[in-house]
A and B are shown apart, each in its own frame.
Chain A
Amino acid sequence: MPVTDISHDLDALTLTITAQFAAPVQRIWDIYADPRQLEKVWGPPEYPATVVDHDLSPGGRVTYYMTGPEGDHVYGYWNVLTVEEPSSFSYEDGFADESFAPNPEMPTSTCVSTFTEQDGTTLARYVTTFGTREGLQTVLDMGVEEGSRSAIDQIDSLVA
């Protein structure tokens, strides 16, 4: 397992996860700089991601949607905050509507990704911070609730 360290800060609602990848820093950077590679690693296999806009520069936006098993879509965006190729970038991650306008009713998180070279490998550190416990729970429940609702709708149509 490439994950080398994890820390949970319960007060700041911050997860810090560190991984060591057997590749140079520039190679890891390229995954994020290339929308086709980014979509391979971002969404889970049952909710594959499609990256639409991709401007990895300060003030730029990355937009994506994830397609669920029922053909349902979840839309999201990154507001890119800082970029220091190839060593770090940070962004605000949020949910959007179909036109990729941010959904103000959904919580956002802030993510800082840092890549440092170590003996030819890359230490990648991902720091994710949520504003509130409820915000974090809402984001985690998204997939669960979407899934439950579509399952119930299916049962509804079966027995109707």
Chain B
Amino acid sequence: MHQISDDRVDAWFHALSDRTRRDILRRVLVTEQSVSSLARNYSMSLTAVQKHVGVLERAGLITRRRTGRETLTRGDAGTVRSAAQLLTELEAVWRERIARIDDLLDAEADPAPTPPSHPKD
């Protein structure tokens, strides 16, 4: 588990306290989008949408990257990671599976003791 500071939690709740920001986050968790294409979903100015994106970014919920003249926005779950990082995450999945096999074998080799019928003196 990650240690999460109170400040970070406050920032999340502030960021998620607004319906538009929740909607933006939901969209960019699915696909990376430019701020201008996001803005087309709302009846507000591009600047207003940019402000919402800024709040989400400061809360660490989304990341932005520039490509050419566009700024692309993406939910943090989808942050681009290197092949090395990805294989390390996959390794964790397999390590857990292996640990569960080990637990299964352990439980079998050393069955849970049945409660003693006579308490020990």
Known contacts A145-B77, A155-B16, A156-B22; is-contact A17 B105 (Cβ 8 Å): no
Main secondary structure of the interface of B (DSSP, over half): helix
A6 (CB) vs chain B CBs: closest residue: B91
> Within the assembled complex, what's the spacing in Å between the Cα atoms of A74 and B78?
19
Known contacts A133-B83, A148-B29, A152-B16; is-contact A28 B90 (Cβ 8 Å): no
Q: Which one of B22, B87, B88, B94 contacts A152 once the chains associate, using CB atoms below 8 Å?
A: B22
CB <8 Å contact, A148 and B77: yes
Known contacts A133-B86, A140-B89; is-contact A41 B94 (Cβ 8 Å): no
> Within the assembled complex, what's the spacing in Å between the Cα atoms of A23 and B75?
44
Known contacts A144-B77, A159-B17; is-contact A28 B101 (Cβ 8 Å): yes
CB <8 Å contact, A10 and B87: yes
Chain B residues within 8 Å of A, Cβ to Cβ: 16-17, 19, 22, 25-26, 29-30, 75, 77-78, 80-81, 83-84, 86-91, 93-102, 104-105, 109
Chain A residues within 8 Å of B, Cβ to Cβ: 1-3, 6, 8, 10, 13, 15, 17, 19, 21-23, 27-28, 31, 37, 40-42, 44, 124, 126, 128, 133, 136-137, 140-141, 144-145, 148-149, 152, 155-156, 159
